[in-house]
Chain A
């Protein structure tokens, strides 16, 4: 009997210590949450000055090249596909997992479209800012190039035209590759 009472008291004490409902644990631990924009579905980024110069190179002026890439639609699809392939690529997926792929698909598409000369403006950040502290290596860079090549092959872009886009991107590696 004594044992039962003691046990009941102990159990009550235990029950009383249950955590209160409705605690905002994120606030308790100082976690900042970013809300996706209800319209675009993108996460906000730190403010920066928008300019086509952020695209990192000057555009081509060749209607044929634009045609080879399937016009603006084709280019945007290739950029999105490159991001998809990279998210699924075990070599570099971890780098992409922590970032906003909705935004990247849009801004990468803009960058390609701008560089190929298909008449877009680039609204994203410059390459150094966009890849800061990502720890990208030259091997990661090669993996991304292979994914881009795969996306361009799927879209039947002729190889010489593929290389012309790569020619614009390759010199930017200095701003992207950190080690």
Chain B
């Protein structure tokens, strides 16, 4: 009520009071004069909001596809609505995946229309090497993922034996992008997995050395196609990825070979069994080329991941990375922490 209203109401009451015989209690009557200022409000009906959301304006449009939608509910720009663990576990290359295999999942806990972020730190302890990977990813809806990871591969005593120096550390930066092109990890037809295509551009920090080891290049780009599905009826998550790559030891030892070995198609597979909303155990396999003729092996791991909180996921794995730079039987432990919002 505005001041004018209050004033009018007061003068009317005063007028009414003045007109009344003494002793009568004042009566406040319906005042049509107010209508000029205060048009009757719309009739209060329990208007169903059935269509309210359907007709509400769309939320953040991110121009990335057909299914961006309203930012629902609380209207926070970042809403972590993804079902637990369905954002995957950061790979050592920074992408959403299963630790060593890339998945079609998109990093972050956002849903369509939202933006999510995740960061990871991983350590692989092997008999002769220590490998650290850390990085971050940003996810746009259920459509696009951009990622970055830094790898530090410490050769420890092996460095001296290889003649590159005690504790020589290989470094590599990986810039990734992944786009979901079809399907959904959980919803929709059971036979249609979430399918994503992507690239990983890798830059080795040891150009001179990897060339001396026989690599053709210190940078390269992998192209990947991934299909991932959670088969709820069996509580099983399955993933298959094809990677077109020329990377040696995923790029730590450079790309291709001076002798002419180049791009080849490789396979990454994961199988996971969901024990609860928060826990999953599984196994992964990743095939690798042997461009340098150093006896590079395929990789295997057995992992257990647990969502400690909605945003913190811890993963422990036993990893068999085979022969690395002529040091064979590199089997050890993999530990990873991922935070995601």
Q: Do A and B bind each other?
A: yes
Chain A positions within 8 Å of B, measured between CB atoms, are 3-4, 7-8, 10-11, 14-15, 17-19, 25-26, 28-29, 31, 90-92, 94-95, 97-99, 133-143, 145-146, 149, 159-160, 163-164, 166-167, 170-171, 173-174, 177-179
List residues 29-87 of chain B with CB under 8 A from any CB of chain A. 29-32, 43, 45, 48-56, 58, 67, 69-70, 72-74, 79, 81-83
Chosen A-B contacts, 16 in total, with CB atoms closer than 8 Å, are: A7-B15, A7-B16, A14-B29, A15-B30, A91-B81, A134-B51, A135-B70, A139-B69, A140-B72, A142-B82, A143-B81, A164-B233, A170-B232, A171-B188, A177-B187, A179-B69
Q: Taking the nearest CB of chain A, how far is it from the CB of B65, in angstroms?
A: 12
Check B29 against A159 for contact (C-beta < 8 Å).
no
Residue among A10, A137, A166, A174 having the largest count of chain B Cβ atoms under 10 Å: A137
Q: Bound complex: CA of A11 vs CA of B19, how far in Å?
A: 8
Check A159 against B186 for contact (C-beta < 8 Å).
no
Q: Taking the nearest CB of chain B, how far is it from the CB of A115, in angstroms?
A: 12
Which A residue's beta carbon lies closest to that of B231?
A: A167
Partner of B30, one of A7, A17, A97: A17
Partner of B188, one of A15, A19, A163, A174: A174
Partner of A139, one of B50, B112, B188: B112
- Using A14-B30, A179-B70 as known contacts, say yes or no to A163 and B53 having CB atoms under 8 A apart: no
Which residues of the partner chain B approach A97 to less than 8 Å between Cβ atoms? 49
- Using A145-B83, A159-B276 as known contacts, say yes or no to A91 and B72 having CB atoms under 8 A apart: yes
Check A8 against B56 for contact (C-beta < 8 Å).
no
Interface string of B80-122 (1 = CB under 8 A from A): 0111000000000000000000000000000111100000000
Which residues of the partner chain B approach A25 to less than 8 Å between Cβ atoms? 43
Number of interface residues of B (CB under 8 A): 52
Which A residue's beta carbon lies closest to that of B67?
A: A179
Chain B positions within 8 Å of A, measured between CB atoms, are 12, 15-16, 18-19, 27, 29-32, 43, 45, 48-56, 58, 67, 69-70, 72-74, 79, 81-83, 111-114, 142, 184, 186-190, 231-235, 274-277
Check A19 against B30 for contact (C-beta < 8 Å).
yes
Q: Bound complex: CA of A118 vs CA of B235, how far in Å?
A: 22
Q: Bound complex: CA of A95 vs CA of B49, how far in Å?
A: 7
Check A171 against B48 for contact (C-beta < 8 Å).
no
Which A residue's beta carbon lies closest to that of B13?
A: A11
Q: Bound complex: CA of A86 vs CA of B320, how far in Å?
A: 45
Check A135 against B232 for contact (C-beta < 8 Å).
no
Q: Is the interface of A mostly helix, strand, loop or mixed?
A: helix
Q: Bound complex: CA of A123 vs CA of B187, how far in Å?
A: 24
Q: Bound complex: CA of A146 vs CA of B84, how far in Å?
A: 10
Check B69 against A137 for contact (C-beta < 8 Å).
yes
Apart from A145-B83, A173-B187: 16 A-B pairs, beta carbons within 8 A: A7-B16, A7-B19, A10-B19, A11-B16, A15-B29, A15-B30, A18-B29, A25-B43, A137-B72, A138-B69, A138-B184, A142-B82, A159-B274, A163-B274, A171-B189, A174-B187
Which residues of the partner chain B approach A159 to less than 8 Å between Cβ atoms? 235, 274-277
Q: Bound complex: CA of A164 vs CA of B234, how far in Å?
A: 7
Which residues of the partner chain A approach B55 to less than 8 Å between Cβ atoms? 135
Q: Bound complex: CA of A139 vs CA of B31, how far in Å?
A: 49
Q: Taking the nearest CB of chain A, how far is it from the CB of B312, in angstroms?
A: 18
Which residues of the partner chain A approach B15 to less than 8 Å between Cβ atoms? 7, 10-11
Check B186 against A170 for contact (C-beta < 8 Å).
yes
Check B189 against A98 for contact (C-beta < 8 Å).
no
Which A residue's beta carbon lies closest to that of B27?
A: A15
Q: Bound complex: CA of A146 vs CA of B48, how far in Å?
A: 25
Q: Bound complex: CA of A166 vs CA of B52, how far in Å?
A: 28
Q: Bound complex: CA of A170 vs CA of B114, how far in Å?
A: 22
Q: Bound complex: CA of A176 vs CA of B97, how far in Å?
A: 28
Which residues of the partner chain A approach B45 to less than 8 Å between Cβ atoms? 26, 29, 31
Which residues of the partner chain B approach A177 to less than 8 Å between Cβ atoms? 187
Which residues of the partner chain B approach A174 to less than 8 Å between Cβ atoms? 187-189
Which B residue's beta carbon lies closest to that of A60?
A: B233
Q: Taking the nearest CB of chain A, how far is it from the CB of B153, in angstroms?
A: 38
Check B83 against A14 for contact (C-beta < 8 Å).
no
Q: Bound complex: CA of A30 vs CA of B151, how far in Å?
A: 69
Q: Bound complex: CA of A113 vs CA of B317, how far in Å?
A: 40
Q: Taking the nearest CB of chain A, how far is it from the CB of B233, in angstroms?
A: 4
Q: Bound complex: CA of A21 vs CA of B153, how far in Å?
A: 86
Q: Bound complex: CA of A143 vs CA of B74, how far in Å?
A: 13
Check B29 against A91 for contact (C-beta < 8 Å).
no
Q: Taking the nearest CB of chain A, how far is it from the CB of B192, in angstroms?
A: 9
Q: Taking the nearest CB of chain A, how far is it from the CB of B58, in angstroms?
A: 8
Check A142 against B81 for contact (C-beta < 8 Å).
yes
Q: Bound complex: CA of A76 vs CA of B187, how far in Å?
A: 24
Which A residue's beta carbon lies closest to that of B59?
A: A137
Q: Taking the nearest CB of chain A, how far is it from the CB of B184, in angstroms?
A: 8
Which residues of the partner chain B approach A94 to less than 8 Å between Cβ atoms? 49, 52-53
